[in-house]
Amino acid sequence: MENSGLNKTEEGDRIFFWPSEEIKQKACVNSSEVYDQAEKDPVAFWEDLASKGIAWFSKWEKAYEEKIPDFKWFIGAETNAAYNCLDRHLNDKGDKTALIWIPEIKEEEAKKYSYRQLYEEVNKAANVLKSLGVKKGDVVTIYLPMIPEIIISVLACARIGAVHSVVFSAYSAEALNTRLKDGGSEVMITSDGYYRKGKIEDLKKKANEGIQDTNVKKVLVVKRTGNETEITEKDLWWHEQLEKADNECEAVKMKSEDLLFLLYTSGTTGKPKGVMHDTGGYITQAYWTSKWDFDLHEDDVMWCTSDLGWVTGHSYVCYGPLLNGITTVLFEGLIDWPNPERPWEIIEEHKISVFYTAPTALRLMMSHGKEIPEKFGLESLRVLGSVGECIDQKTWLWYLNSVGKGKCPLIDTWWQTETGGTMINSLPGVGPFIPAWAGNSFPGTRHTIIDEEGNEVIKTGEQGYLVQKSPFAPGLLRGVWKNPERFKKTYWRNDKYYFSGDGAYRDDGGRFRIIGRLDDVLKVAGHRMSTGEMENVIDKHAAVNEAAVIGKPDELRGEVPVAFVITKGEIDDKERLEKELQDMIVKGIGPIAKLKGFYFVESLPKTRSGKIMRRILKSLIKGEEVGDISTLQNPESVEKLKEIIKG
Ligand code: WTA
C-alpha cells in the first residue's frame, strides 16, 4: 500500500501529526465520530463489536452486569478462542500464512505455517494434552522460548478449555516454581533449550528445578536445540507425542466468562499475582483493538517484538493478529543480535507492515545511528506502535522519521497486563499523533484521573491517578487467581474505579499523557518488575538486615533497579557481597532483574510507623530536592544518604 504522509500542526509547544486524506480513506476508522457513538452507550457498542468480530456458538442473554469488584460481559454466550483464531479462517484463508517464525540464528531458515497447518498442529497438541488428562479449567504452565510451539501450546489449551499460564523463559527456576505452585498445574510444556546470542541456554535444567515440590506430573518437552539435558520420568517428547496424535480435536464450548488464561505479573508486594482473563470479553477486545489500533487489513504482516511471556505477546503476537486472520511474526532472537541491522533486515525481507515494539528497543536501535535503517527498504511499513513505558519525544520523532519516513501513523499505546488489550492511544485514521502523549481512551472505554481522596480531577494539566470507569472494558481482568481480597484491594477504589497504579494528566481534548507508575512497580526495559520481589530475595542473605530497591532513571532502559542495603554489622568485602546478592537475584528472579547499583547504608529514611520512604530515596537518586522530611523518624539519615549516593 502506498504511503502518502502525515500532516503537521503545532499547538503551544506540542507537535500534532495527522493522517493524510489517503491514509484516512483506507483506514478501518477514519472519523472521531466512533468515539461519540461509543460514548452514548458503551454496552451496546461492545455488543455490536462482539457480534461482528467474534463467532459465537450461542448468543448472550445479557450483555453486561456489574457489582464491583465483579463485572461480566456477554453472559451465557458460548465461544472458543482457538476456534476464532483458526477454524473460521480455514474456508477462505486455509493456505494463507498465519505465522512466520524467525529463528535467532540467521543460518536457520524462517518457518511458515499456513492457517491450515497451524490448525492441525494445534489440534494435535490439544489431543496430546487431553491424553495427559488435561480437562477444561485445568491450568497448564507453558515455559517456552519464542518458538512456534509456544503459540501452538497456547491455542491448544484454549481449544480444550484449559487455562494457559505462560511463564517467561528467562525467568529463573525459583520464579517458575512460585508460579507453578500458585497456579497448581499438573502439566507443563517446556523445551530442551533455546538460543541466546548464538549459545544454547539449558531451559530444561531450570524447568527440572522449577517443578520441585509442585503438582507437576507430566512435562511435554519440545526439542529445540538438541542439547544434552536431563530427561526425567515425567518427561514426554513433544514431537513423539504429536506424531501419534489425531489432527482433529473439537473446540470446547466455553462460556464467555470462563477463564482463558492466567498471566503472572508483578505488584507492589513480593508475591506475583495471577491475573485472570476471561474468554469472550478478552477476545472481543483483542480482535478490535488489533484491528483498529493497527488498522489491520487482509494483507498485513504484523511484527510485535514482545516475548509471549508478557501480555503484549499474548494479545498482539498471538490472539489479536490470528483473530483477524492476518500474518503474525514470531522472532526468537534479540533485536540487535548478531548485528544492529537485524530488525531492518527482518522488516525488509518479510515485508512487515505493522511494527509494534517498546521504547527501550527503539532507543537501542537509535543508538546505532540513523544510517542503519536507511540502508534498508522499509516501504512496506504502514503503522508503527510503541508500548510498555513512556516514550520520550526524541525517540518518538526518530521512530516516526527514521523508521516510518515521516509517513506512518505512530501510536503510543497505554495499557497493562490487567487490561488485556490496549486502552489509551490514537487511531491511525483519526490521530492526532503527539510525541509523548498516548491519546484518547479506546472507543467504548472510559478513563479519568482521580486525586488521593478519589475525587475526579477535572482540570486539564493536573496530575493524578489514572483510573477506568464503568462500564469496564470487556478485556479487563476478572480477578487475581486464588486471591479475591488482593483483587479488591489492589484494583478498586471508592467502589467505582479500576485503579491502574499509573500517574497521568489530560489536555483540553481529553487526551492522556502518562507519567508512569506511582507505586513500587518498576518498568525496566519495558519489563514489569516488583521491587518487593527483589527485596524478598536480597533479604534472604545472612548479612542483610534490611533492603530497599528502587528504580533509577536510565537513558537506555527507562529505569534500572538499585538497592539500598543495611547490613548486619560491618562488612569487609563489599564486592563479594554485591556479587552474592546479584547471584541471588538472578537465581531468584532472572537476569532481567539484575541490580545496577548497591548502596550500603546504616539507615533508611522511615516514617514514624517504620515504613521506608521510597519517595525520598527516589528523589535522592535523581538528585532532586527531597522536600519536607520533618515527619521522619530519622531525618538525619537523609544527609548521610546524599553523601553515599554522591560517592
Ligand atoms: C507502563 C504492558 C507509558 C505503565 C502492556 C503500565 C506505559 C505498565 C505505556 C504495564 C505507555 C504501558 N506509556 N507507560 N504507552 N504502556 N506502560 O503489565 O506503567 O507489563 O502500568 O503491560 O507499563 O505493564 P505491563
Residue-averaged pLDDT of the chain: 96
The C-alpha atoms of residue 243 and residue 496 are separated, in whole angstroms, by 52
Q: Which candidate, 380, 343, 387, places its Cα nearest to that of 365?
A: 343
What pLDDT was estimated at residue 630?
Answer: 86
Least confident of 308-322, 395-409, 612-626: 612-626
State pLDDT tens for residues 197-246.
999 999 999 999 999 999 999 999 999 999 999 999 999 999 999 999 99
**Best of 384, 520, 528 to mutate for ligand 1, by most ligand atoms within 8 A of CB?**
528
> Are the C-beta atoms of residues 183 and 142 closer than 8 Å to each other?
no
The C-alpha atoms of residue 323 and residue 489 are separated, in whole angstroms, by 33
Between the CA of 470 and the centroid of ligand 1 the distance, in Å, is 21
What lies within 8 Å, CB to CB, of 33 at 6+ separation is none
The C-alpha atoms of residue 145 and residue 239 are separated, in whole angstroms, by 16
Looking up cell 503476537 gives 317
State pLDDT tens for residues 50-85.
999 999 999 999 999 999 999 999 999 999 999 999
> Are the C-beta atoms of residues 222 and 189 closer than 8 Å to each other?
yes
Residue 460 in 3-state DSSP? coil
> Are the C-beta atoms of residues 328 and 305 closer than 8 Å to each other?
no
Is the predicted pLDDT of residue 171 greater than 60, yes or no? yes
Q: Can you list the alpha helix ranges (DSSP code H) found in 222-356? A: 238-244, 280-293, 311-313, 320-323, 342-350
State pLDDT tens for residues 496-544.
999 999 999 999 999 999 999 999 899 999 999 999 999 999 999 999 9
Pocket lining for ligand 1, CB < 6 angstroms: 265, 310-312, 387-390, 412-417, 438, 500-502, 514, 516-517, 523, 528
Is the predicted pLDDT of residue 130 greater than 70, yes or no? yes
Q: Can you list the alpha helix ranges (DSSP code H) found in 33-147? A: 33-40, 42-53, 81-85, 90-93, 115-131
Burial 395-418 (b: 16+ CB within 10 A, else e): bbbbbbebbbeebbbbbbbbbbbb
What lies within 8 Å, CB to CB, of 381 at 6+ separation is 347, 352, 353, 354, 355, 403, 404, 405, 408
The C-alpha atoms of residue 491 and residue 488 are separated, in whole angstroms, by 6
Q: Output DSSP code: residue 353.
A: -
Between the CA of 359 and the centroid of ligand 1 the distance, in Å, is 11
Between the CA of 6 and the centroid of ligand 1 the distance, in Å, is 26
Between the CA of 492 and the centroid of ligand 1 the distance, in Å, is 18
Cα-based angle 351, 352, 356 (whole degrees, multiple of 5): 170
**Best of 312, 416, 441, 529 to mutate for ligand 1, by most ligand atoms within 8 A of CB?**
416
CATH number of 527-646: 3.30.300.30
State pLDDT tens for residues 361-371.
999 999 999 89
The C-alpha atoms of residue 284 and residue 52 are separated, in whole angstroms, by 9
Q: What global pTM score does this model have?
A: 0.96
Torsions phi, psi for 195 (to 5 deg): -95, 135
Q: Which candidate, 148, 155, 62, places its Cα nearest to that of 103?
A: 148
| Residue 4 pLDDT grade (very low, low, confident, very high; cuts 50, 70, 90) | low
| Residue 609 pLDDT grade (very low, low, confident, very high; cuts 50, 70, 90) | confident
Q: Which atom of ligand 1 is nearest to the CA of 391?
A: 13
Overall average pLDDT of the 457-463 stretch: 93
